[in-house]
């Protein structure tokens, strides 16, 4: 049997907690990315909220959740802007630490109009957040009534303390494994769900096949219920663990071959996100091991080049939508296309948050039925 989503998810509106980076982004668009020693003029400049956790929780809030953020800013102009924007979107910022002096996190984002890429240069908060910044009373208050806790992999020392407390309280934990950051393994040991970038599974496991690497991750972390690898315009791959031995009486299936068969089932004429899935079976990665579960392949929206403005924050939007989907009890077959659609809408506007939709956006209606 696969995980009973109606048991592990709650109705929207209950508390979700996120820990990680909240920042301010200076987003400049250029005709083409500059070469060394070049001087170029930006076509457009906007100052916007950013940071992985800030973006993902903003997405979740606009979709209808009431998230709390644990982070740190300085008492500078940037910090004030960061907090005001988060609060305006309905995020509880009462557990954001404000330090006297120092510098809030900020990023320079260069959007290349020609190649449709973005390059980020970020400066982290100073002084860095440490566990002592969050008294135990504040930690317990932040986790009170929380139904899900999300970590973006930043602020790793503080994040690990929060994750350990959440695990003691049996609160499910979602980890964004974008890159192999310092301290990430400790968080992954406590994870219920993992969402990672395309490169992470192979980099973390040194296994060249992304599907074999996902099998390795689920074997390494037995409490993980699913792992998703996002693939940008190629969609995503999800490996979902069975909670019992369902499918154990079926012959083993090579998970890489299974992925190829799922690709053959994708409707190439459908420009909107979709999902195809396998039955529950024994999924084998030769030389790695075998798990019981399902493999799902999600597609991304085919966006006309003329409509792509900026891919900044698309991954954070995807995660924010997954947070909502878990709370709304969406099965994976609906969850993956929904999250892909939210990410696609994000790419149609400048900055990480400008294009984030609200739940009543008519462009989401087909994915919420």
Q: What does pTM read for this prediction? A: 0.93
**What pLDDT sits at residue 179?**
86
Provide the terminal-to-terminal Cα distance of the chain, rounded to the nearest Å: 25
Over residues 146-170, the pLDDT tens digits come to 999 999 999 999 999 999 999 999 9
pLDDT computed for residue 11 by the predictor: 44
pLDDT at residue 369, as a whole number: 82
Q: Looking at the DSSP assignment, which residues form a beta bridge with residue 96?
A: 71
For residue 66, give Cα distances in angstroms to 77, 86, 334, 341, 342.
Answer: 26, 12, 22, 21, 18
Residues in the chain, how many?
A: 369
Domain ranges of the chain: 52-70+90-95+128-357
Q: Give the C-alpha separation, 168 to 152, whole Å.
A: 20
Q: How far is CA 117 from CA 142, 311, 314, in A?
A: 37, 7, 12
pLDDT in tens, the chain (369 residues): 554 443 333 444 446 899 999 999 999 999 999 889 999 999 899 999 999 999 999 999 999 999 999 999 999 999 999 999 999 999 999 999 999 999 999 999 999 988 888 899 999 999 999 999 999 999 999 999 899 999 999 999 999 999 999 999 999 999 999 888 888 999 999 999 999 999 999 999 999 999 999 999 999 999 999 999 999 999 999 999 997 765 556 679 999 999 999 999 999 899 999 999 999 999 999 999 999 999 999 999 999 999 999 999 999 999 999 999 998 889 999 999 999 999 999 999 999 999 999 999 999 999 998
CATH architecture of 52-70+90-95+128-357: 3-Layer(aba) Sandwich (3.40)
pLDDT of residue 243: 79
Report the DSSP pairing between strands 23-30 and 106-112. parallel
pLDDT at position 245: 62
- pLDDT computed for residue 162 by the predictor: 96
């Amino acid at each position: 049997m696969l995980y009973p989503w109606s048991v592990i998810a709650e109705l929207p509106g209950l508390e979700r907690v996120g820990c990680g980076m909240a920042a301010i982004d200076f987003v400049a668009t250029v005709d083409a990315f500059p070469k060394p020693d070049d001087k170029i003029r930006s076509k457009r400049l906007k100052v916007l909220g950013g940071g992985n956790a800030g973006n993902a929780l903003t997405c979740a809030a606009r979709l209808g959740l009431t998230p709390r953020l644990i982070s740190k800013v300085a008492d500078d102009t940037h910090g004030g802007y960061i907090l005001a924007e988060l609060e305006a979107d309905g995020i509880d910022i009462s557990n954001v630490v404000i330090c006297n002096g120092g510098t809030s996190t900020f990023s320079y984002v260069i959007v290349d109009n020609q190649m449709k890429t973005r390059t980020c240069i970020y400066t982290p908060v100073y002084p860095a957040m440490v566990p002592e910044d969050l008294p135990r009373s504040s930690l317990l208050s932040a986790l009170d009534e929380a139904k899900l806790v999300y970590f973006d992999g930043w602020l790793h020392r503080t994040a690990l303390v929060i994750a350990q407390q959440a695990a003691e309280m049996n609160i499910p934990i979602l980890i964004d494994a974008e890159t192999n950051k310092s301290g990430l393994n400790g968080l992954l040991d406590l994870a219920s769900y993992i969402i990672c970038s395309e490169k992470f599974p192979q980099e973390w496991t040194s296994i060249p096949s992304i599907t074999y690497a996902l099998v390795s991750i689920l074997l390494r972390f037995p409490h993980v219920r699913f792992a998703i690898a996002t693939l940008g315009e190629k969609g995503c791959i999800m490996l979902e663990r069975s909670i019992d031995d369902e499918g154990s009486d079926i012959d083993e299936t090579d998970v890489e071959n299974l992925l190829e068969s799922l690709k053959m089932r994708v409707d190439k004429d459908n420009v909107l996100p979709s999902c195809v899935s396998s039955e529950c079976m024994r999924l084998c990665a030769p030389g790695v091991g075998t798990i019981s579960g399902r493999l799902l392949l999600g597609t991304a929206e085919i966006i006309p080049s003329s409509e792509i403005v900026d891919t900044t924050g698309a991954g954070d939007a995807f995660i924010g939508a997954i947070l909502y989907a878990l709370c709304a009890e969406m099965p994976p077959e609906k969850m993956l296309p929904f999250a892909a659609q939210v990410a696609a809408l994000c790419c149609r506007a400048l900055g990480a948050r400008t294009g984030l939709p609200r739940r009543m956006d008519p462009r989401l209606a087909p994915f919420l039925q």
